[in-house]
Amino acid sequence: MNYGLVVQSEAVIDIQKAFEWYETQRAGLGYEFIEEIEGGFERLSKNPQHYAAINQKYRRLRIKRFPYMIIYEIETEQVVINSLRGTRQKPKF
């Protein structure tokens, strides 16, 4: 069973900011970042319970190539993407 994905506006803004920063570092790197995020979304839609729980409500999936994690929660048959956080940032849960 695949879960539906809902990406909240805060997560969209987080992704956009990270994309823009990576593009300033090297042309095309932002697109590589987006590919990694999309791969994470695909993994979440297939098996969201597989990834580490932060607390009773939230879970996280670490992105392999970039120092970010996707913060999400599972609601019935949906995965709600709440935010994208750098692993070097202080978490806001």
Per-residue model confidence as pLDDT tens digits over 4-59: 999 999 999 999 999 999 999 999 999 999 999 999 999 999 999 999 999 999 99
pLDDT at 56: 94
Q: What is the mean pLDDT of residues 67-92?
A: 88
CATH for 4-86? 3.30.2310.20
Domain ranges of the chain: 4-86
Handedness of CA 47, 8, 92, 88 (dihedral sign): positive
Residue 93 · residue 74 · CB < 8 Å: no
pLDDT at 93: 46
pTM for this predicted structure = 0.90
Distance in Å from the first CA to the final CA of the chain? 28
